[in-house]
Amino acid sequence: MKKKCLAVGIILLFVGTCIIPATAQDTEKPLTTSRGWLYVGGSGPGNYTRIQDAINNSYNGDTIYIYNESSPYYEHLWIQKSITLIGEEKNSTIIDGNGIDHVLSLDANAVNIKNLTIRNGRHGVYFLHTMYYNCSIVNTIITQCSISGISARSTFNTVISKNLITNTMYYGIYLTQCNNDNVSENRIENNSYDGIRCSSCSSVLLQRNIIGKNNGSGIFLDGSIFMNITGNVFGPRNGITIRGGYPEHWNTHSIHNNSISGKPITYYQNCFDLDLSGESGQIILANCSSCRLHHLNISEVENGIQIGCCQNIVITENSLKNNTFGIRIDTSMDILFFHNTITQNKYGVFLVEYDMNITIQNNTLCHNKDTALVVIAAQYNRIVSNTISDNDRGIYFGETMMYRGEIDNVIVDNLISNNRYGIYCVYSDAMSKNNHFYHNRIINNTYSAYDEFEKDVWNSRYPYGGNYWSDYTGVDANQDGVGDSPYEIPMYNQDKYPLMSPYTTENLPPTTLQIKGPIFRRAEVPLNYSYLTSDPNGDCLFYYIDWGDGVVEQCISPYDVEMNLTLSHTWKKQGIYTILVTAEDPFGEKTNTETMKIYILPKKGALFSLFLTFLERFPVVNQLLEWILSHGDII
């Protein structure tokens, strides 16, 4: 029995000597994961006096608790670990950037910020690089920043919630290329630009935020897709702005149950044949067609009506008052905007980013604080018979770094009076040209006109005349109604035929349209065709040409010739094609639709070459054959 006990004791002693060193070895390893909580401020033993020192001595997963009795902490924090910063109480636990640099610079995944006041830096919270995951900023006050409260780039699954973000010099929150972030239940107010700006973002949730008193938009989407904007409450002159050159920037969002000043913000995507009227907080049409907006009263919002990637929209009998933009139209075509009252906005009507065939006619645009009508990077638009008075600038043609090229717009028969600048045109390169200003009454403006690009045209041809200028000092010795000397327009332009009195002749339609050009030709050879018509009022004419091979072209006539237009076209394959062409003046008066059949022969072939050579040597036969073919369907 004693021997058995001795054997068992020896065995236990042996096992113990094996286990104890192994256990000791494990407990002596350096600690590389969370050790728990670190403390800054306060009077506890071992507490840190600087937050950055605590960060430097922390490990991933640690929590740093910051007492308020040592606040404010004048620091710029660089966070390179997945840690949590918690303030004792958000109003009294303050981190102050002392007016320089970013207050908190985040450079790690899974960083959590909570219960702090962050103030007085360039950015309050700044994500240093890209591709950060699962961070959060919650229940924090961010204020007095010289750029933005929160700035993030390429973050994923970040939560920004229940914060007060106020009094920044630019944006409350600025997100760039962020995905699946959650921005909810924040109060964002009194920022100098936008409350929230999302640039090239995707699938970000913006919900139940209170956004007001910002000088720009409440929420600004710039080139973003699949955004979810739900249940936000906007104060006066904020709201939602969308910008982007492609339909997906407009029609992929989910925007529901938002309001401004107690009125609904309504968003319509991919709709057809809408009829909208009545009171509204804001209206956004995205990729819609054949809609009618009428008898709407919209005021006190960033954008009263916003139209993006739409076509065939009629907007009439609306009142847009005291907004930043009365109406903004982006990347749209075939819009008819008439008989609206646009007053006391910052900008009345704003055309931007390749709008085409917009007709702005018989509207009243008065008492707008900056500009009644802005045209940026738009072409083939008509501004006709409007009253544009008592604004800082009546009409502005200009460019930005992103958008340029105002081409072939016609401005005719408008009353432009009592503005500081009647018409103000600023161009930066040769992409802007051939805008036509004529038969306008430009009266009692401080500066009648200013134009930096010499390829604009400020008159019709003689004797139809140019514009009536109340400050023209020339004479009309031959009593033809046209001044004998040009009206000079700074910088590089002039009205060659200034009118001595306003143009009052009744508008008449253009004359019958004819097509002149060859009927027989070979494939892949450029051919010239002339379109002959004239306009009794000397108007520019808009031409719509269908070449019959799937190519449709639009252009505007030269202002100074009766034979209005000559164009070249090349058919690629043999066949029989029909040209269809119509011309229309700025007032909507059209010519007939003229047609012409074209017979395109193969590119090669001795027989066809001999036939064309025969027609060229005997033009009378060619003319006879063309006459026969043009007066009957024989093929």
Contact assessment for residue 237 and residue 323, using Cβ atoms and an 8 Å cutoff = yes
**pLDDT exceeds 60 at position 580:** yes
Tell me the residue type at 181: D
Res 426: pLDDT: 87
Res 628: pLDDT: 63
Res 17: pLDDT: 38
**pLDDT exceeds 50 at position 226:** yes
Res 279: pLDDT: 87
Residue with the bigger pLDDT between 343 and 43: it is 343
> Residue 584: phi, psi to the nearest 5?
-145, 140
Q: Percent of the chain at pLDDT above 70? A: 87
**Distance between CA 114 and CA 101 in Å, rounded?**
21
Q: Give domain 514-630's CATH superfamily.
A: Immunoglobulins (2.60.40.10)
**Distance between CA 123 and CA 434 in Å, rounded?**
45
Residue with the bigger pLDDT between 597 and 500: it is 500
Token duo for residue 270? 């991919």
**Distance between CA 42 and CA 255 in Å, rounded?**
47
Report the interhelical angle of 619-630 vs 606-617 (nearest 10°): 100
**pLDDT exceeds 70 at position 536:** yes
The DSSP-derived string for 432-485 is SB--EEES-EEES-SEEEEE--TT-B---STTT---EETT-----TT-SSB-SS
Res 622: pLDDT: 67
Q: Among candidates 419, 363, 410, which has minimal Cα distance to 390?
A: 419
Structure confidence at residue 3 as a pLDDT band (50, 70, 90): very low
Res 111: pLDDT: 98
Tell me the residue type at 623: Q
**Mean pLDDT of all residues in 279-300:** 97
Q: Give domain 33-234's CATH superfamily.
A: Single-stranded right-handed beta-helix, Pectin lyase-like (2.160.20.10)
* Every domain of the chain and the residues it spans: 33-234, 514-630
Residue with the bigger pLDDT between 9 and 434: it is 434
Q: Percent of the chain at pLDDT above 90? A: 76
Structure confidence at residue 390 as a pLDDT band (50, 70, 90): very high
Structure confidence at residue 428 as a pLDDT band (50, 70, 90): low
Structure confidence at residue 211 as a pLDDT band (50, 70, 90): very high
For residue 330, CA distances in Å to 237, 311, 349, 401 come to 20, 11, 11, 16
Res 478: pLDDT: 95
Half-sphere exposure of residue 270, counting CA atoms within 13 Å on the CB side?
7
Res 519: pLDDT: 85
**pLDDT exceeds 60 at position 9:** no
Res 246: pLDDT: 94
Res 231: pLDDT: 98
Res 631: pLDDT: 54
Residue with the bigger pLDDT between 166 and 2: it is 166
Average pLDDT of the chain to the nearest whole number: 90
Res 32: pLDDT: 41
pLDDT in tens, 164-183: 999 999 999 999 999 999 99
pLDDT in tens, 235-265: 999 999 999 989 999 999 999 999 999 999 9
pLDDT in tens, 89-137: 999 999 999 999 999 999 999 999 999 999 999 999 999 988 999 999 9
Which residues, listed in sequence order, are joined to residue 150 by a DSSP beta bridge?
125, 173
What does pTM read for this prediction?
0.88
Structure confidence at residue 24 as a pLDDT band (50, 70, 90): very low
Top mean pLDDT of 9-23, 451-465, 611-625 is at 451-465
From 297-306, 350-359, 425-434, 622-631, the region with the lowest mean pLDDT = 622-631
**Distance between CA 106 and CA 101 in Å, rounded?**
13
**pLDDT exceeds 50 at position 30:** no
